[in-house]
Amino acid sequence: MVDEILKDSFLGMLQIMQADMIKLSDVAETSAREEAMKIVNSGRGYHTTSSIGHNLSYAGTVHSKLTAPLAMTCFAIMDVIGKILDNCIIKLDDNDSASSGSFINHAREFEKFINRDYLKNPKTAEKFQDAFRHSMAHCFLPGSTKRVAYEITYHYEFANEPLIFDRGTEYVLNVKCLSAMTQNVLEKLITMTKLAQKEDQVVVDKIVESFELVIKQASQKLEHLEDN
């Protein structure tokens, strides 16, 4: 059995993440519906939030207020929780082993926890990582002129659409799908940790132990930076 204080700390972290996700997604959902009502007769079909590297003036682009912050929050949670899941080697397949520790491998472990396989396809995984690194992160760097054919969107009708879909020559990251997946993983982890049923106890203990390891690793990196 793991230390109950450590377990409570892990649960507290999950609940904070969940609360932030609920607030961000609620605003994004409301904003998406309001914007959809404004353009319902325009024939555009849906709206996207382009990266800064794009020409932002073309017809059909409407800037949803919290699409980018919501997507960035999802990416951060996927990376942290995915690393915890990857470290503890709790796999559906006993033949699975630890990954290389990259963001995309953490994201794969994250989605596998709720039996999703969007990122199992190497091409989809590459597009997903590029949507984060190029469409969102790199394009916000001062002086960046890189133009990348990626966009993000949060549309209230897109809950069942793919994580990444094509729009002509551009790829679109479906933030509604990303948000739903993130919240589903958090909800499952919170429920498992709270209830800790007999059949889940071993899994929960190993996840919490991995959480402790990730904290120690982060603390060591911070101490190293401070020393330098």
- CA-based radius of gyration for the chain: 19
Query: Buried b vs exposed e over 94-129: b needs ≥16 C-beta within 10 Å?
Result: eeeeebeeebbbbbbbbbbbeebebbeeeebbebbb
In the chain, domain spans: 4-219
Q: What is the pLDDT of residues 24-81, one digit of tens each?
A: 988 888 877 776 666 555 555 545 554 433 433 333 444 445 778 888 899 999 999 9
Residues 6+ apart with CB under 8 A from 104: 119, 125, 128, 129
> How much is the pTM?
0.78
Structure tokens at 219: 């603390």
Is 29 in contact with 130 (CB distance < 8 Å)? no
pLDDT of 210 > 60? The answer is: yes
At 73 the pLDDT is 93
For residue 21, what pLDDT is reported? 95
Q: What is the pLDDT of residues 99-124, one digit of tens each?
A: 456 889 899 999 999 999 899 889 89
User: What's at 210, amino acid-wise?
Assistant: S
